Structure 1
Amino acid sequence: MNEPAFQSALEQAAAIRTGQISAVELLEYYLERVQRFNPKLNAIVQTCPESARKRAEKADQAIARGELWGPLHGVPVTIKDTLEVVGMPCTSGSPVLKNHMPEKNAETVQSYIDAGAVVFGKTNIPLYGGDLQSFNKIYGQTNNPWNPECTPGGSSGGAAAALSAGLCCLEIGSDIGGSIRTPAHFCGLYGHKPSYGIVPQKGHIPPHPGIFTGEHGVCLDIMVVGPLARSIDDISLAMDLLIAPEPADRRGRQIRLPEPRRDSLKDLKIGLWMDDPVCPVDSSVGEVLQNAVDRLSAKKARIADKRPNVDFAGSHDCFLSLLAAVMGEGTPEKYFNKWLEDVKMLSPNDSSYLACHLRGATQLHRDWVLRDRLRQLLRQSWADFFREFDVLLCPVAPLPAIAHDQQYLYDRRITVNGNQREYMDLMGWAGLAGVVYLPATVIPAGRTRQGLPVGMQIVGPYLEDSTPIRAAKLISEVLGGFVPPDGY
């Protein structure tokens, strides 16, 4: 994969350092590719070519003087449009924020810039990042480079499509219900959902901009900010750059995570949770994952069909309730008041996703506290599991990339093994790790018989992000890594 478009960020940074290519040349190369390929993808929705060119020129001048800004010196990157970047609008997919021009970079964006990156574009998302597809009324729909009839996922769908098509080399996404992991799975990439609380949220929308302008702010429950890339080594580098306390905590708090538990595949203790009747996995995905497990077993990996002592249904219900509390917090008052009336009309037996959302979004604080206590019991069950095992392998989602569907969210349906299921089943497997704050790395595991990518989720112990990331590297040495889609 010598084509510059699909090189890793580390490879590109090395090429700039050694004079094989200049930062300006690499930027112009990507800008040309964006002009050529982005119209059919609509992945990158804003660019700032002039300011990016000026920074790339300064990067080359610094190299000429023998100066190195950091490990991403001169590397062109794009940023998900929920994260604020000075010089470009940050809309979070909302027409209300169409003209919002940030005065400061998000903390995570600044980390990339401090490491030498050249930010040149913003990538598409759904409204406020609240969907597993990526479309909105400002920028329209983003298509999957593996099949334009399919979504690249959401909410970091523009980021994933751009990376997969070779329009940028590194991204930052965010994830509350699979928004890093599902796009990585749908587009054949690497993505990492960090342990909750180790990467700053400051500068992410939501919450609404202009309220928390000082060092203090709101950290949304469950939500994390993390990287997407074509290389697991880029994921590791990005996490080294991104890990930091929130700004208000830095005068008394540092974050130093443990080293990875194992350095070889044969020493890695791997558990499996490959299907569950509560959120069944389609055979098209299951076949790819089973093949991956078989290949690992052939390499003498220590794999056992063991999982945490966690009831999927109970965990999923807890996740949906706590997620709804977050998603409902920013809802305009007139809609929230309607929900208060609608929830009274629900049958006690109504377990649909809409009913779960209404109950969770309008729950009493006492109920939230009780749910949080249940979460702590779930966290303990996972911790007990990780005393015996290093990582758990499981699906990212029940299906590969699905066809575009812009109906009302709760009217959408998916088909799994010939049976109709509710659309929000797509985030069932992501919720297992999300609700309990665990790190989870997604790797390319193969492709379906129809040629669509399938990812595998590697869940690790809390605050031991380096363990699933290292496991991802070891497993990828067997399964292979990113493969670009045809035509790019």
Structure 2
Amino acid sequence: MKSAIATAAAIRSGETTALAECDAAIARIEAGDGAINAVVIRDFDRARDAARAIDAGPKDDRALLGVPMTVKESFDIAGLATSWGFAEHADHIATEDAVAVQRLKAAGAVILGKTNIPVGLADLQTNNPNYGRTRNPHNLDRVSGGSSGGSAAALAAGFVPLEFGSDIGGSIRVPAAFCGIWGHKPTFGMLDTDGHYFPRTQGAAPNLSVIGPLARDPDDLALALDLVSDLPLPKPTPRGTGDWRILILARHPLAAAAATISDAVEAVGAAFAKVGATVDYHSDLLPDLKSQHEDYMRILAVAMARGAPSPSGPPSTPMIVLLDRQAACRRAWRRLFRAYDAVIAPAWGTTAFLHDDTPIGDRIAMIDGVATPFAAQIAYPGLATFPLLPATSVPVGVDPDGMPIGVQVIADRYADHTAIAVARVAHDLVWSR
């Protein structure tokens, strides 16, 4: 399957047509998605019309000219349902495209439809009463992740080269890691989230939440980020592989990690060190990760509750105090990034787990034979989310069961392209092994 960039170039040169690429993607979905259930809202007729319009016009230099893609169900597309998986919102039809969708279409993308999500975008697996369960293409008994689980599954299955999702608790990075593809959580506030909001609301964006790309290819990932970003994000100064400064964080003090995961993170560090990069495994510059996680969970609970009262009463910490702590945490990370270009850590402490509809608060994660609280794993995506930092999920190997292993590369605020660049080097250093 061609990358998005290669597909656009082939259409531009006349090697293929937008309609041919659209039809090929539709055929892949129709042939392969029955068991996976990733592309749950299909807009094939309008996609073909859009592709025909591109073929009828001049072969311009739009970056995604004729590229077929899908987007997460939670983005508005005019004329299609946006339910966020809630049965009561199944009949909610969007009247306008989300800003991100507008920008992707302006770049020439052909949107085939929308991909599945968990209810309220609130789980690390993808299952809801409107569209059912999405399964991991690598093993149908395993989850594809969440909440951009349909997005990652569609990419891993080879249906499309590019997707767009969202992330507040690992919802891009974890599905990417579970499905063996690339995903990027941007710096908070850099991509307009208008049109990606809870159904039948005015769209106030919660603190921490971002939208971002998922792809099969890192160049496509970087391109999609730039196409949708409000402002240009800086590119890192070109440097040799051995010139990077890396901090390896193989485990979180509050969350266990399977040996296959922590070993993979450390293997990436060893690979960087072998080519002469500066690699550390400890740093006094790291903020107090325990306190950071506790404050992250408090803000996350407020964001996900959307004003609903807590079963145990109002939050014990006023929001302004939490925001003060968040500001202090951001400054701590900024100081750390004066010494390092990137921090490499697990995206999640396990590979894709078996389907399990136990509520998150009661769910158990088996890690190397030990039962641990599932919810504690949120600490890994929270590393970048609470301080509002960019992070790229990159595939670096497979576990003994053949399931993909992904790690996240965290960089300084606005250094999104540094995170992608380091992730690309990490992948190239270890993937052949």
Identify the TM-score tier after normalising by the shorter chain.
over 0.9
Q: TM-score, normalised by structure 2?
A: 0.96
Aligned position for 1:406: 357
CA drift of 1:297 comes to: 2.4
* RMSD of equivalent CA atoms: 1.7
Displacement over 6 Å in runs of 4+:
none
- 1:52-91 paired onto structure 2 within 5 Å: 52-62=47-57, 66-68=58-60, 70-91=62-83
Deviations 1:30-51 (A, max 9, x none): 1111111101100110111111
Distance 1:466 1:118 in 2: 25
> Is 2:1 the counterpart of 1:9?
no
Q: Note closer, same or farther for the CA distance 1:256–1:55 as it changes in structure 2 (3 Å cut).
A: closer
Paired residue for 1:318, among 285, 295, 313? Answer: 295
Distance 2:412 2:269 in 1: 21
Distance 1:419 1:474 in 2: 33
Aligned position for 2:236: 260
Paired residue for 1:284, among 260, 268, 273? Answer: 260
> Is 2:264 the counterpart of 1:272?
no
Q: Which moved more, 1:434-443 or 1:422-431?
A: 422-431
Gaps of 5+ in 2: none
Deviations 1:81-131 (A, max 9, x none): 010012321111111221211111001111100000000111000011111
Q: TM-score, normalised by structure 1?
A: 0.85
Distance 1:20 1:239 in 2: 26
Distance 1:405 1:69 in 2: 46
SS at match of 1:343: coil
Paired residue for 1:363, among 305, 315, 320? Answer: 315
Aligned position for 2:101: 109
User: Greater CA radius of gyration, 1 or 2?
Assistant: 1
Distance 1:394 1:412 in 2: 23
Distance 1:450 1:18 in 2: 42
> Is 2:43 the counterpart of 1:48?
yes
Distance 1:375 1:288 in 2: 30
> Is 2:149 the counterpart of 1:160?
no
Distance 1:258 1:57 in 2: 36
Asked if structure 1 preserves the Cα contact closer than 8 Å seen for 2:116 and 2:126, the reply is: yes
Equivalent residues, number:
432
SS at match of 1:270: strand
CA drift of 1:261 comes to: 4.3
**Aligned partner letter, 2:422:** A
CA drift of 1:226 comes to: 0.2
CA drift of 1:397 comes to: 0.6
Distance 1:33 1:426 in 2: 34
Aligned position for 1:170: 162
Deviations 1:237-279 (A, max 9, x none): 01111111xxxxxxxxxx3433314532211111111113311
Deviations 1:288-328 (A, max 9, x none): 22333323322222212234422221111011000001111
**Aligned partner letter, 1:41:** I
CA drift of 1:416 comes to: 1.6
Aligned position for 1:343: 312
Asked if structure 2 preserves the Cα contact closer than 8 Å seen for 1:282 and 1:398, the reply is: yes
Deviations 1:134-165 (A, max 9, x none): 00001110000011100010000000000000
SS at match of 1:148: strand
CA drift of 1:330 comes to: 4.9
Deviations 1:397-438 (A, max 9, x none): 100001100122212110123221111123211001101100
**Aligned partner letter, 2:377:** L
SS at match of 1:37: helix
SS at match of 2:337: helix
Paired residue for 1:424, among 355, 375, 381? Answer: 375
